[in-house]
């Protein structure tokens, strides 16, 4: 189904075509309805595309006004090789957001933890945002910007302890809602995250309807998704990723020294 | 994390950059390793991007050699507005595939059910494919090509009965494996589908590792993902989507008349 059909399905109302992000970087006609929730989703080099597309699908069904934001509108590469172009530059991003969202991607997140332009933008838009949110290693970027200081938060299991170096209270859960901060665990937590946020932004009935359209009644083939029940696989992944995880720790320590904790 | 890091994580071995699909339609250098599972994923106008990206993320972590295939390499639009360009045209698609995959998107799938060029391509590549697969309404396209005749199969809950018009035995499950046919339910079933297929293509340990990297330990916020436990929402969605669902039924009847059942 395309978004227009879905919007009709959900709202039973005429639908104005909204965000047509073009990965080719070509502008599409955009009509923005001020009554729709306004969501800015960061896109950046080396992000995990599924971190973006899971929540984006839910927000799209929730008829949100979605901005994919980055420094420029040049396409950025993602883990699966598909390029994604921002629809909106930092300069053009609305100041009164309902949701500010950062997806993950370990290598890309580590790079952003020391990127002043990105951290300054996030800090600025977070001031007026109703919800400041992330999935996966995106929480490291929020934390490096000082935005999780004093909040309970989570992240991908193999980096979530680093949030503690940046003033957050680490919670080893798949989804953590603490006042305006909503953070999810690794990659696939984006679905649980987005449905929860859809209920907060609209209402629970609306979120339930989206969940049924997406047939989100998961039946994982293995009980392999949680590190606490898969210790030896987790240890092996940590070992193989040690250099990048160490780089993440160093980036957190550096970012922590710059924050007024 | 990007794919190169992931491949290192998984294999602990040097990695040759492989499929770099460019949504801008610009060719990227491609080195294809013949020992890797060869997967063709159909992309088409009005498909649901999450139907593609969920499985693609898993297959990418399984170090598959992924071809995004379509008639041309011109970008096609998707439900969330992001455009995706095929990496490989029908003409250039390998003949000895491990996996042939069709994602969903109701409106787009209905259009494909009467598209001879698409049906002929699928029928041809299915002959030598180890697995012929789909998620969501993609099963309607496989069925219209005659590829589910005599097989047990599933699809998105609101169209899966139509598979019976095309010679399949409809099974109301989230995932159905019947010999070479592997079909998934609506949208998010793509994750359960792809992890199952990764275990079939590689082995269970490999699939478990991917599941932990993706932290796939789902905790849906509501019990709203299955129609049998959400009858009134399902009825409402069916009612609102009636014209498109009726078009799907007509397309199935038309396709059925052309198949030697």
DSSP per-residue string spanning B82-98: --B--SEETTTS-SS-S
Confidence of residue B181 (pLDDT cuts 50, 70, 90): very high
Q: DSSP state, B37?
A: P
Q: Is A169 helix (H, G, I), strand (E, B) or coil?
A: strand
> Distance between CA atoms of A200 and B226, rounded to whole angstroms?
22
Contact A67, A94 (CB under 8 A): yes
Q: Out of A56, A82, A237, name the one closest to residue B213 (CB).
A: A237
Whether residue B28 has pLDDT greater than 50? no
- Give per-residue pLDDT as tens, A112-150: 999 999 999 999 999 999 999 999 999 999 999 999 999
Residues of B in contact with A86 (CB under 8 A): none
What Å distances lie between residue B36 and A25, A240, B92, B99, B261, CA to CA? Answer: 32, 21, 18, 12, 36
Strands A131-134 and A181-184: parallel
Task: Round to whole Å and give the CA distance between B48 and B141.
Answer: 14
CA quadruple A179, A180, A185, A190: dihedral, nearest 10: 130
* Closest to A129 in 3D by CA, of A55, A33, A41: A41
Entry pTM: 0.89
CB pairs under 8 A between A and B: 292
pLDDT higher than threshold 70 for residue A12: no
Confidence (pLDDT) at A14: 28
Would you call B23 and A84 a contact, using CB atoms and an 8 Å cutoff? yes
Q: Which of A114-123, B20-29, B250-259 shows the lowest mean pLDDT across its residues?
A: B20-29
Mutate to test the interface with A, among B184, B214, B241, B248 (most CBs of A within 10 A): B214
* A79 touching B (Cβ < 8 Å): yes
Which is it for the CA torsion A85, B92, B148, B74, positive or negative? positive
| B60, B136, B196: residue with CB nearest A80 | B60
From the CA of A67, how many Å to the nearest CA of chain B?
11
**Residue recorded with tokens 């907060």:** A200
A21, A70 Cβ separation under 8 angstroms:
no
In angstroms, the separation between the Cα of residue B46 and the nearest Cα of chain A is: 5
Task: Give yes or no: A93 in active site.
Answer: no
Note the pLDDT of residue A31.
Answer: 54
Decide the pairing of beta strands A65-70 and A88-89: parallel
**Res. A259 pLDDT band, cuts 50 70 90:** confident
Please identify among residues 21-60 of chain B the ones whose CB lies closer than 8 Å to any CB of chain A: 21-25, 28, 46, 48-50, 53-54, 56-57, 60
Question: Coil, helix or strand for B175?
Answer: strand
Within chain B, what is the greatest distance between any pair of CA atoms?
A: 53
CA distance B94 to B39: 9
Contact residues, A window 152-191, toward B, CB-based 8 Å cutoff: 156-157, 174-175, 185-189, 191
**Interface mutation vs chain A, best among B10, B218, B233, most A CBs within 10 Å:** B218
Q: Check whether A80 has a pLDDT greater than 60.
A: yes
Q: Please, how many CA atoms are within 13 Å of residue B237, restricted to the half-sphere of its CB?
A: 26
Q: Give the residue numbers of B marked as catalytic.
A: 136
Enumerate the residues of chain B whose CB falls inside 8 A of the CB of residue A49.
53, 57
Q: Give all strands (DSSP E) within chain B, no chain letters.
A: 38-42, 65-70, 88-89, 99-102, 131-134, 152-153, 169-170, 175-178, 181-184
Q: Is A219's CB within 8 Å of B175's CB?
A: yes
Residue A35 pLDDT level (bands cut at 50, 70, 90): confident
A221 at interface of B, judged by CB pairs closer than 8 A: yes
Residues A242, A247, A250, A251, CA torsion sign: negative
Nearest to B81 among A19, A156, A214 (CB): A19
Work out the mean pLDDT of chain A and round it to a whole number: 89
Give the per-residue pLDDT at A260: 75
The phi and psi torsions of A153 (rounded to 5 degrees) equal -155, 160
Sign of the dihedral defined by the CA atoms of residues A154, A155, A159, A163, in that order? negative
A90: which 2 tokens?
Answer: 């930092």
For B216, which of A188, A208, A212 is closest by C-beta distance? A188
- Is the predicted pLDDT of residue B52 greater than 70, yes or no? yes
Report whether pLDDT(B219) > 80.
Answer: yes
Put simply, whether B20 touches A (Cβ < 8 Å) is yes
Model confidence band, residue B31 (pLDDT cutoffs 50, 70, 90): low
Q: Is the pLDDT of residue A27 over 60?
A: no
What is d(CA A202, CA A64) in angstroms, rounded to the nearest whole number? 10
- Which region holds residue A14: left if phi is over 0, alpha if psi is between -120 and 50, else beta? beta
ipTM tops 0.90: no
- B2 inside 8 A of chain A by CB: yes
């Amino acid at each position: 189904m395309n978004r227009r059909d879905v919007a009709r399905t959900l709202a039973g109302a005429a639908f104005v075509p909204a965000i047509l992000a073009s990965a080719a970087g070509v502008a599409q006609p955009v009509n923005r309805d001020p009554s729709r929730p306004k969501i800015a989703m960061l896109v950046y080099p080396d992000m995990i595309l599924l971190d973006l597309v899971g929540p984006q699908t839910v927000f799209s069904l929730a008829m949100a006004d979605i901005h994919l934001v980055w420094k420029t509108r040049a396409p950025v590469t993602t883990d699966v090789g598909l390029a994604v172009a921002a629809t909106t530059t930092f300069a053009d991003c609305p100041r009164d957001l309902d949701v500010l969202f950062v997806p993950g991607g370990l290598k890309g997140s580590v790079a952003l933890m020391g990127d002043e332009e990105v951290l300054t933008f996030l800090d600025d838009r977070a001031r007026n945002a109703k919800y400041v949110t992330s999935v996966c290693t995106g929480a490291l970027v929020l934390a490096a910007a000082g935005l999780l200081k004093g909040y309970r938060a989570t992240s991908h299991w193999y980096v979530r302890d680093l949030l503690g170096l940046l003033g957050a209270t680490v919670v080893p859960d798949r989804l953590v809602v603490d006042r305006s901060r909503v953070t999810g665990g690794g990659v696939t937590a984006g679905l649980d995250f987005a449905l929860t946020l859809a209920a907060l932004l609209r209402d629970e009935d609306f979120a339930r309807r989206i969940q049924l359209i997406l047939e989100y009644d998961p039946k994982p083939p293995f009980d392999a998704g949680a590190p606490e029940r898969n210790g030896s696989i987790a240890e092996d992944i940590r070992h193989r990723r040690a250099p990048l995880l160490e780089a993440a720790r160093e980036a957190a320590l550096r970012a922590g020294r710059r924050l007024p904790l």
